Structure 1
Amino acid sequence: MGMLIRKEELVSVKLAFGLMAELSGPRLYSCCNCRNHVSYHDDIMSKAFQGRHGRAFLFSHAMNIVVGPKEDRNLMTGLHTVADVYCCDCRQVLGWKYERAYEESQKYKEGKFILEKSKIVKENW
């Protein structure tokens, strides 16, 4: 009997062995610099965020990225512990990961990713 593997599990296995995940299917987002696939459109939670360089999207998942060191930042919604995220191929800064939110109303962001609109491009639209 065959075993079903979810896309998230397959990506995790590939990344655990140092392989870049090659996403397939419609509506992807890629690094604007090298076209490395970084997320699915379906993983967008909100388009109403502000990044360092303009509009940004909140994603539930991101892949083919490197997470930098954690640091506390005072953002528009209060103090957060965040870590910059980089494309794992070209090392372009794409946004950040929310590690901790200090305000109770902001806890939903923990473990989520901000990818700046100017740093990503649509693929397969």
Structure 2
Amino acid sequence: MDTKSQATPMFYGHPVFSCSQCAAVIALQDELISKAFSGRDGRGYLMHSAVNVKMGKREDRPLLTGVHTVADVYCMGCNDRLGWYYHKASDQSQKYKEGKYLLEREKLVKENAWKLDE
């Protein structure tokens, strides 16, 4: 087993997004909902779930689609801010984001876990 999958063997062999700073696994690529989101520093991914993250404090934040109650999320490995978690959306049309993560593309590395023929 390679070193990247030692900490999270259940992700071994699956395409994942990892932290660009410390290579901690953050999410399975299968958890991706949309690439058409904006974060603080550029493009973002809306994700069903994330692992190896810790949350900051909840706050009401004005975003492009209205005010949302969010908490910043940080990598457990290196404490880099990766994006935020949507706790609550004030606008009815934005409720689908609740319980989801916005992860910034620039903070992630896409790892495909390709198997090469030997």
Give TM-score scaled by structure 2 length.
0.86
Tell me by how many angstroms 1:91 deviates. 0.3
Partner of residue 93, structure 2: 105
Partner of residue 33, structure 1: 21
Partner of residue 86, structure 1: 74
Match of 2:40 among 43, 46, 52: 52
Deviation per CA, 1:40-83: give whole Å up to 9, x if none. 11100000000000000000000000011000000000000000
1:109 maps to amino acid: K
The root-mean-square deviation of aligned C-alpha atoms, in Å, is 1.1
Partner of residue 76, structure 1: 64
Instruction: Flag structure 1 segments of 5+ consecutive residues without an equivalent.
Output: 1-19
Instruction: Flag structure 2 segments of 5+ consecutive residues without an equivalent.
Output: 1-6
Structure 2: distance between partners of 1:41 and 1:55: 16
Give TM-score scaled by structure 1 length.
0.81
Identical-residue share of aligned pairs (%): 49
Partner of residue 122, structure 1: 110
Structure 1: distance between partners of 2:106 and 2:96: 24
Moved over 3 A (4+): none
Within a 5 Å distance, the mapping from 1:62-73 to structure 2 comes to: 62-73=50-61
Structure 2: distance between partners of 1:85 and 1:43: 16
Secondary structure at 2:51 match in 1 = coil
- How many residues in Structure 1 have an aligned counterpart in Structure 2? 106
1:32 maps to amino acid: S
Secondary structure at 1:61 match in 2 = coil
